[in-house]
Amino acid sequence: MTRLWVSISAWRGVNATVHLIAIFATIFRLHHRYRLRRLWWDDYWAGIALLFSFGYFATVWMRRDVGDPSLGRKEAVALFWMTTTFFPCEVWSARMSLAFSIIRLIPERAIFRRRCMYALATIFGMMWLALILEKLWVCASDSSWTHTVAVQCLLGNAVGIITLCTDVISDTCLIIIPLFMLREVRIPVGQRRLLLAIFCSSIFSSLAGVIYAIFVFRADNLGVKRGLLISLTANIKAAVTLLVCNMLVIVTYFYRTFRRGQDLETDHTPVEPSKPAPVPASGGNHYTTTTDMSSVPTFETTSTFDTSPRSAPTNPTMTSSKFVNTAGTPLPTITETDTPSPSVATASVIVDSRPHFTKSAPA
């Protein structure tokens, strides 16, 4: 393998750029959620990742080139432990934020799915702890690296393999689970594609992890610059992972701002709802309807009621009822024979089941 070389200035420039982008994205995300009063555990984990990113970013300016006497050996060893601790903490805090972002999208009634995601977040925490303990064990069990020129602990292939496996497993879960969820959610095609693109951006974190693992595997062939090269890939991986966990909030914000809540693609014609048409009726009443009932026939009901005084023992009885279809079709007459009352008034009511209604009161 050809030996790579990188200057300390270029190393700082690249690391500072990627870290600043990730830091400002996280600050924007937290401010936006705080302004909307919608802070939740996914935002809290992003804030924890931001704190570790500040510490990891500070180590960029503390780093010196190989053989630089301005940085003592004890300071170099302390700097190594800082980078070794802050790096996995920033990466896995960002992944925890992604996991809780998915939990946030799961409805409250889907108890089983939410429990599965909480279990996955717990597994992420166990992977996080296992990687830190493994690095501490490898570098603390053999302190010979503290006396080398580069002051860099060689983690070995075991750490590289475990790191690569955990990266692939975690990022695959963070991609497949949202895809499975969105398959059962009825949303417009444009928004669906947007969400798929956001969650699939976790693949960039996996690619950065693969590059980091390759440099860890080939550390023996990198020469004295191996510390800078491995640290460079680690910084890029941490910044990309932190940036990816903020993509859902940032892209959604700009999508709503510039698209004004519209779909990315209009692939259906909206149906205009029926507008109610007010129709005045006698007596100053107004009736509205949204259903076309013009084809329904109307009926005229003529009834004769007994309107004798209330002191009379007889009850009001209907003597005859005749239904006439105004559409022209005669209907049968229903007659009930009873003793007619001396005083009778006739009430004629026309009921129209169409939008237009007419009332005729007694003269």
Average pLDDT over residues 138-162: 82
Q: Are residues 283 and 255 in the same domain?
A: no
Domain that holds residue 341: 279-351
Q: Please give the structure tokens belonging to residue 168.
A: 């692939």
Residue 269 placed within a domain: no
Q: What is the pLDDT of residues 178-200, one digit of tens each?
A: 888 777 767 677 677 777 777 78
Residues 106/113, Cβ–Cβ less than 8 Å: yes
Task: Report CA-CA distances (Å) from 19 to 13, 56, 198, 227, 325.
Answer: 10, 9, 20, 18, 82
Look over the chain and give the mean of its residue pLDDT values, rounded to a whole number. 74
Average pLDDT over residues 329-352: 46
Q: Are residues 13 and 120 in the same domain?
A: yes
**Total of domains in the chain:** 2
Q: What is the pLDDT of residues 206-216, one digit of tens each?
A: 888 888 888 77
Residues 117/267, Cβ–Cβ less than 8 Å: no
Instruction: Give the CATH number of the domain where residue 254 resides.
Output: 1.20.1070
Q: Are residues 166 and 298 in the same domain?
A: no
Instruction: Among 259, 290, 313, identify where a domain stops.
Output: 259
Helix (H, G, I), strand (E, B) or coil at 94: helix
Q: What percent of the chain has pLDDT over 70?
A: 65
Residues 52/93, Cβ–Cβ less than 8 Å: yes
Residue 162 placed within a domain: yes
Report whether pLDDT(217) > 50: yes
Instruction: Among 231, 259, 287, identify where a domain stops.
Output: 259
pLDDT for position 98: 92
Q: Are residues 41 and 74 in the same domain?
A: yes
More confident residue, 96 or 149: 96
pTM assigned to the model: 0.68
Report whether pLDDT(160) > 70: yes
